Amino acid sequence: MAFWHEVLAGFLSSAFAGFLFVAMYVLIQWFLAATDITISYAWRFDGNLNAPSNLRPSFDVRNRSRSKTYLLANVAYLKDGRPVAPFDNKSLWGVELKPGSITFLEVAPVPGLASLAECVVIEVHVRLQGGRQFWLKGSGPGQLHVGRLQGAAFWLRSKFESAAVPLE
């Protein structure tokens, strides 16, 4: 009977090790995908501060991946989950984010916005053509909204990159 116990123990330990390697691979792939794109923005306008016109976001998009190219799709402007302006399907559609690139993009003016006070309460959603969505909100320059887990992943990636440890 000891022989079969050893065979069973060997099989279970090999299966557990295989499961552990697959789980680590999936975790690393999630980590890289969750932290490969960062987006921030600031509101731009024509005219002076007392009478702004043509209010529009100006995006700073960074693709930190070394191998994956992304395509941008559209921008949505929401307040409390409801659209405050039509989706902007033309300004960003098809813009290619090459691996390791930094792209500054200005989109079309947002119709219906008359003051900067209205701008800072709007949530800006940027979508990729693959379906991934980025939620941006902020008073003043807008920053990427992340949860605690994704925020910790961004912090960990910045530590790895500052230590010059390649992640891909």
Number of domains in the chain: 2
Instruction: Look at residue 97 and tell me if it is in a domain.
Output: yes
pLDDT tens track for 27-82: 888 887 777 888 888 888 888 777 788 888 888 888 988 888 999 999 998 888 88
Do 21 and 54 lie in one domain? The reply is no
CA distances to 59, 162, 163 from 68, rounded to whole Å, are 20, 21, 22
Do 78 and 137 lie in one domain? The reply is yes
Examine the pLDDT at 150 and tell me if it is beyond 80: no
Do 133 and 52 lie in one domain? The reply is yes
Residue 89 is part of a domain; what is its CATH number? 2.60.40
Do 57 and 17 lie in one domain? The reply is no
Do 19 and 5 lie in one domain? The reply is yes
> Which band of pLDDT confidence, cut at 50, 70 and 90, is reported for residue 143?
low
Do 23 and 67 lie in one domain? The reply is no
| Tokens 């999630």 -> residue | 30
Q: In which domain, by residue range, is 111 found?
A: 36-162
Q: How far apart are CA 89 and CA 108, in angstroms?
A: 10
Instruction: Look at residue 168 and tell me if it is in a domain.
Output: no
Do 13 and 85 lie in one domain? The reply is no
Instruction: Look at residue 10 and tell me if it is in a domain.
Output: yes
**Which tokens is 38 given?**
């960062």
- As beta bridge partners, residue 125 has 76, 135
Do 30 and 40 lie in one domain? The reply is no
Instruction: Look at residue 3 and tell me if it is in a domain.
Output: yes
**Which tokens is 56 given?**
């529009």
Q: Is the dihedral of CA 70, 73, 74, 80 positive or negative?
A: negative
Do 149 and 122 lie in one domain? The reply is yes
**Which tokens is 49 given?**
């501060």
Whole-model pTM: value is 0.71
Do 91 and 10 lie in one domain? The reply is no
pLDDT tens track for 81-139: 888 888 888 888 999 999 989 999 999 998 888 888 888 888 888 999 988 888 877 54
Q: Give the three-class secondary structure for 57.
A: strand
